[in-house]
Structure 1
Amino acid sequence: MSGASILEVRDLSVIYPGAGGTVSGPVGAVDRVSFDVHEGEFVGVVGESGCGKSTMLFAIARLLSPPASITGGSVTFRGDNLVTMADRQLNLLRWRNLSVVMQSAMNALNPVTSIGAQFKDALEAHGKFTAAQVRERSVEVMDLVGIDPVHLKSYPHQLSGGMRQRAMIAMALLFTPELVIMDEPTSALDVVAQRSLMLQIKELQRQLGFAVIFVTHDMSLVSHFSDQLLVMYGGQVVEVGPTRMVFDTPSHPYSRGLLDAFPSVRGPKVELTGIPGSPPDLAQPPEGCRFNPRCPVVEGDCHSVEPELYQVGTVRSRCLRHNPERAGTVEVSS
């Protein structure tokens, strides 16, 4: 991306202490994750359920609930480290510069308060506004997301799922932040509503210029909308790079497996293949590469040597087959 970097995540790690999985011990939900987000960039984060996507997102926004805690790394937003920032400073930053759209709008919105009243609460919690200014801004953001402002008087249960999600996005845009973090905002919607919402988000991005981190388990959903793609597995980033490069020439066997699990609407018919096995127990992850028990191209040292993120053209891949210390690299193909 040509724009300046607004968010720099470096070696971010999150642990849930106590019992987890098959043993009693800490669960490393996020393990040394690093990436950048640039001005106006759309960053997709994909992977199976339980791979650490949402935990990473909440760690970035400092919204983790106990007993989860950040145990290492930094999250730098416009030069300020959010990990070490005091709550008072964070409250000034949230909504105005950085906002979050939760996964389930029905659960995130207050069911006994009208949409307009919730917008009013958010505005007044982060600034001083007259009643007329609150009304004017609320109408503006409802218009932005394509909802008739008459629904400011509606309660969440009176709106459809798609309208509730758009109302959540409208609330996130009340202060026109530079970065909007979205945690699977389309997961409860049908495919038509999903596409409509994605087009709406991209149009709002074009109009307002904010950057997006978009977490989803659906690779196909971000294929045409994201600029950069992070593929997560077992709490780690296993591949990161320009979205088109990851889709056209995936460098990690897990990325290839995710792509092969989704049907294409173009080209010849091909048999869909799933990824055998289950994601690792993060309380006791496998030695070496975390994907080795399920990998179709696993080799001897994959069971003992933990791979780094190796540069492969314009992407980085956490696969020993791309280790530059080896004689050559091997393309992961279907």
Structure 2
Amino acid sequence: MSDTILDVRDIVVEYTTSREPARAVDHVSFTLDRGEFLGIVGESGCGKSTMLFAIAQLLTPPAQLVSGEVIFKGRNMVGLRGGELRSIRWRDYSVVMQSAMNALNPVKTVGAQFEDTMRAHGQGKTAGIRARSREVMALVGIDAIHLKSYPHQLSGGMRQRVMIAMALLLSPDLVVMDEPTSALDVVAQRSLMVQIKDLQKKLGFAVIFVTHDMSLVGHFSDRLAVMYAGKIVEIGPTRPLFAAPQHPYTRGLLESFPSVYGPKVQLKGIPGSPPDLTDLPSGCRFRPRCGQVMPRCAEIEPDLYPSGDTRSRCLLFEERA
């Protein structure tokens, strides 16, 4: 049996605009193995969350999946109808949204929302629902008494953990997370990430974790994909990628984050701004901001080439390929 649980094949997502369509995800492909933790990073507007919503089949107008396939457990989810998707959501894969306060129903208790989820997937026995609800609350370190609480009665960190508990109710094989730590302070971020990683090791589910924080996923992900202007520009095992980033954009991202260890280092950052997705530069999309730009970069759109332990979308590595 193959270890691959998710195979994203050449997906394209566009947003309808008054001008040309904005291509937020442009021919992105990758695979995810069972039990693997894949981090997706990049600047705001690079297409991370849009790609995640395309994978989870949660896109709404003006966004639309133009082409590509999302093969989950051997089944192409693209084109599935509402009832078919509802039958596998939460049971086979679940999604943890960025804002837990908006994702949770403010007029229902946590326990009632857990019950709705389980009854929608065939769990009819009240005793079984209550037992499972207490069990998942314990998994994320929250007292079962808070099953009677409303979302506004919980702190931001507790709401995020409630969302993770709900995502684990039916023991899915894949949990997709869209910046679940963005509204938390750094102490709460680390606590939540440690908990997610421990749960993943214990229960064996795969994770796609979308964030703009390189330092966060550097400690917890097995593999990392760096996105820029709708494309993956570098992908590979996390530790080698951090130790020797190959793509100029990846190096720029890493140099933009301060380290709390070692000597004080001047932050460099990345000059300029991400391109307009309706008016992309010719050739390499990172060319206008790159410090290693060559004349050929304006003419050729690079592929993902092998570069060290990763694959990098840069013409610097074309000859090696």
Q: Does TM, normalized by the shorter one, top 0.5?
A: yes
- Give the partner amino acid of 1:212: V
Are 2:17 and 1:18 aligned?
A: yes
Instruction: Return the letter of the residue paired with 1:169.
Output: I
Q: Contact 1:238/1:317 (CA < 8 Å) preserved in 2?
A: yes
Answer whether contact 1:116 1:138 (CA < 8 A) is retained: yes
| TM-fit CA distance, 1:125 | 1.0
Partner in structure 1 of residue 307 of structure 2: 312
Hey, what does 1:5 align to over in structure 2? 4
Question: Equivalent of 1:203, from 177, 198, 205?
Answer: 198
Shift of 1:128: 2.8
For the 8 Å contact 1:3–1:40, the answer to whether it is kept is no
- Deviations, residues 36-88 of structure 1 (Å, cap 9, x unaligned): 11011000000000000000000000000112111111110111011132322
Q: What's 1:184 paired with? A: 179
Check the 8 A contact 2:241/2:309 in 1, yes or no: no
**2:261 corresponds to which of 262, 266, 282:** 266
Runs of 4+ in 1 over 6 A off after TM superposition: none
For 1:119, give the aligned amino acid. F
- Cα offsets for 1:156-208 (capped at 9, x unmatched): 11100000000000000000100000000000000000000000001101110
**CA distance in structure 2 between the partners assigned to 1:157 and 1:296 by the alignment:** 48
**1:68-147 superposed matches below 5 A:** 68-147=63-142
Preserved CA contact (<8 Å) 2:123 2:129: no
The equivalent position to 2:146 in structure 1, one of 144, 151, 157, is: 151
Q: CA–CA distance in 1 between the matches of 2:127 and 2:221?
A: 37
2:36 alignment partner in structure 1:
41
Give a deviation string over 1:230-278, Cα, whole Å, max 9, x none.
0000000000000011101111000000000001122222101111110
1:290 partnered with 2:285: yes
Q: Matches of 1:240 and 1:125 in 2, distance apart? A: 37
Which 10-residue stretch deviates more, 188-197 or 302-311?
302-311
Q: Counterpart of 2:97 in structure 1: which amino acid?
A: M
1:182 counterpart letter in structure 2: M
Q: 3-state DSSP class of the match of 1:271?
A: coil
State the SS of the aligned residue for 2:182: coil
TM-score by length of 2: 0.98
Equivalent position of 1:332 in the other structure: none
- Scaled by the length of structure 1, the TM-score of the pair is 0.94
CA contact (8 A) 1:74 1:82 kept: yes
1:49-64 equivalent positions in 2, closer than 5 A = 49-64=44-59
Question: How many residue pairs were aligned?
Answer: 321
* 1:258 alignment partner AA: L
Amino acid in structure 2 at the alignment position of 1:14: V
Q: What is the rounded CA distance, in whole Å, between the counterparts of 1:283 and 1:248 in structure 2?
A: 34
1:3 touches 1:39 (CA, 8 Å); kept in 2?
no
What runs of 5+ residues in structure 2 fail to find an aligned partner? none
Provide the secondary structure at the position in 2 that maps to 1:293: helix
List per-residue Cα deviations over 1:101-149 (Å, max 9, x = no partner).
Answer: 0000011001111111111111111113211111111101000000000
Q: Give the aligned CA root-mean-square deviation in angstroms.
A: 1.3
Unaligned runs of 5+ in 1: 330-334
